[in-house]
Structure formats: C-alpha cells, structure tokens
C-alpha cells in the first residue's frame, strides 16, 4: 500500500524533539539524513564510534504515516505535541510501498577479497571460484545492518584478514570485531580459520544482525556479541576495529589492552590525511605500523609490543 511521507529540516540539537513528536503522533518510521549530503566538503558518517551516536549538524528527517492520514490534522497534532518546534516548512508526498531492502539486494553482487574471501548475498548462486575447497564464503543480507563489503573501509579489513589467513595467523585464533555492524569481519575471520570471535557494537540492532548472520552462516556457536559496557575483559591475538578515526584515537588505550602481546590489529574508517594522528597514537604500544590506502580511505595495521 502507499504511504504519506513527511519531510522536514532541523539542526542536530533539535532532532530528538522532532523525532519524539513524530513518534508521538503515530509515525511508522523516522529516518535521518545529512541535509547537505551533496556538499563536496561534507563528511559522511558511515559508522558511529562505539558508545556514541554522532549526527550531522543539519539534518533532514523523513517520517512515514498511513496513506489516509489527514495532513492538516497531522500538522495540528504535531504543533500541539511540542509548541516550541516550527512545523511550517514541512513537505508531504505520497510514496509507493516497495521492499527497499530487496531492491538493494537485487543490485548487490558477489565480491572477492584477497585470495580466499568471498562475500555473497543470499539471493545469489556461488560464482566461479567461491566453490573452491579453500574459499571462505560469507553469505550476507546487507539489509539487516550496514557492512556489506562494498565500502573501502570494510574491503581493507577483509583483505587484511585474508592475508592473515595465508600467514596462518588466524588458525584457531580468537578474534575481536570492535564496531561489528553486520558482523561481516567476524564472520570472515571464522570462515578463514579462526576458532571463535567476539563482536562489539553500541547499536543493539547491529548485534541482532550479527547474531542472525552468524546463525545463517553456520557459525553461531562460535560468535558472541556484546554492547560495549557488557564486553568481557580479555585479550585477543587478532583485533579489527572499523569505526571512525576520532573514535580510534579516543579508544586507543582500550583497543591496545584488547590485543595480546605480539598480537595483530587493523584499524579502519580513517579518511586519507587522518592516518597520521592514528599512527602517532598507536605508536605508543604497537610496532610495525603501516598504512594502506584504498580510494579515499586508509587502514592502519600493527603488532602489539611485547
């Protein structure tokens, strides 16, 4: 069935009040987007720092309502719900119902990273090469949460894990995926030979998606997921954190403490030019630090000092 779509612009500080008002009058869904997504100097937020929910300074809010919702009555109810908000610039339009996740999946194709690693959507047959004996195939539904392998930050991490597998560093290892999203990195590590993995994320939906993907890939018994405050204190021979440069710098002590002496770490989500601060911060506890670039994004890797 069709829906009534309401769109408005607001600032970051106003966003919680607008969202509460929309939900209080029966919005079926509320989504947030950057109001200046097309600006050349605007930085996209692909993944929040663990424990944080960063937003753009100016946002576009979109809410969906039942198609037969009277527009004037809706505006009256919104004004009454919070008289301090401006509802005069609201725009309405009718939108057709469609399965947006499945529309995305129709455009998603199998991808190979390194020698062994394949990310294949559920609705695809295995491509040539993914049926090899040494192939590590992760079946993924990217509609469940972000993290499908298509973004350079994820691709850099998958390539690194694939290289570790060739070196034997993943064999029977325990892996930490910090900021796990869909769980794609933890799943790839398990398929590449890791014994177990832990996924940590501040978004409960991401943890649900990770757990669901793990079950579908037959590794649910080897992957545990936690919110940051619930994560057990332990060390890992392999740690990967695909978040944001600012969060990587802020969490340097926490992440360093998770890496066993002699263990390996990969840090991603770093825009080109931001790697220098990350390298300087992690040089305090890691050796053999290296930066690798893919498009406009960087990955930093290192070995924990013994």
Residue list, annotated binding site for S-adenosyl-L-methionine: 154, 179, 201, 242
Q: Which residues pair with 128 in a beta bridge?
A: none
Angle at 163 between CA 233 and CA 240, to 5 degrees: 25
Residues 240 and 302: their CA atoms lie apart, in Å, by 11
CA geometry: angle 278, 241, 54, nearest 5 deg: 80
Please state, in angstroms and rounded to a whole number, the distance separating the CA atoms of residues 117 and 135. 6
Cα separation, 86 vs 103, whole angstroms? 35
Task: Please tell me whether residue 30 adopts helix, strand or coil conformation.
Answer: strand
Burial class of residue 291 in the structure, from the number of CB atoms within 10 Å of its CB (0-12 exposed, 13-18 middle, 19+ buried): middle
> How is residue 127 annotated by DSSP?
P
The kind and range of the H/E element at 265 are strand 259-271
Structure-block tokens of residue 123: 């609705």
Q: How far apart are CA 98 and CA 22, in angstroms?
A: 22
Annotated binding site: 154, 179, 201, 242
With CA atoms as reference, report the closest residue to 159 among 210, 111, 207, 200: 111
List the alpha helices (DSSP H) in 4-141: 15-24, 71-81, 100-107
């Amino acid at each position: 069935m069709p829906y009534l779509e309401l769109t408005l612009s607001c600032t970051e500080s106003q966003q919680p009040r607008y969202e509460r008002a929309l939900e209080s009058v029966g919005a079926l869904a509320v989504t947030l987007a950057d109001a200046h997504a097309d600006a050349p100097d605007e930085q996209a937020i692909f993944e929040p720092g663990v424990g944080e929910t960063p937003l753009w300074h100016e946002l576009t809010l979109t809410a969906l309502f039942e198609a037969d919702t009277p527009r004037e009555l809706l505006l009256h109810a919104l004004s009454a719900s919070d008289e301090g908000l401006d509802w005069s610039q609201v725009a309405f339009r009718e939108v057709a119902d469609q399965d947006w996740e499945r529309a995305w999946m129709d455009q998603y194709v199998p991808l190979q990273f390194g020698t062994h690693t394949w990310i294949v959507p559920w609705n695809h047959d295995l491509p040539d090469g993914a049926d090899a004996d040494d192939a590590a195939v992760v079946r993924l539904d990217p509609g469940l949460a972000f993290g499908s392998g298509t973004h350079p930050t994820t691709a850099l991490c998958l390539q690194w894990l694939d290289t570790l597998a060739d070196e034997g560093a993943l064999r029977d290892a325990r892996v930490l995926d910090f900021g796990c999203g869909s769980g794609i990195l933890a799943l790839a590590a398990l398929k590449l030979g890791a014994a177990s993995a832990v996924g940590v994320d501040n978004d409960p939906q991401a943890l649900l998606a990770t757990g669901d993907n793990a079950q579908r890939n037959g590794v649910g018994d080897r992957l545990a997921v936690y919110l940051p405050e619930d994560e057990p204190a332990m060390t890992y021979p392999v740690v990967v954190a695909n978040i944001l440069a600012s969060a990587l710098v802020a969490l340097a002590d926490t992440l360093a403490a998770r890496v066993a002496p002699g263990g390996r770490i990969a840090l991603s989500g770093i825009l080109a030019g931001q790697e220098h601060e990350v390298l300087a911060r992690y040089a305090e506890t890691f050796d053999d630090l290296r930066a690798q670039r893919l498009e406009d994004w960087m990955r930093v890797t290192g070995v924990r000092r013994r």
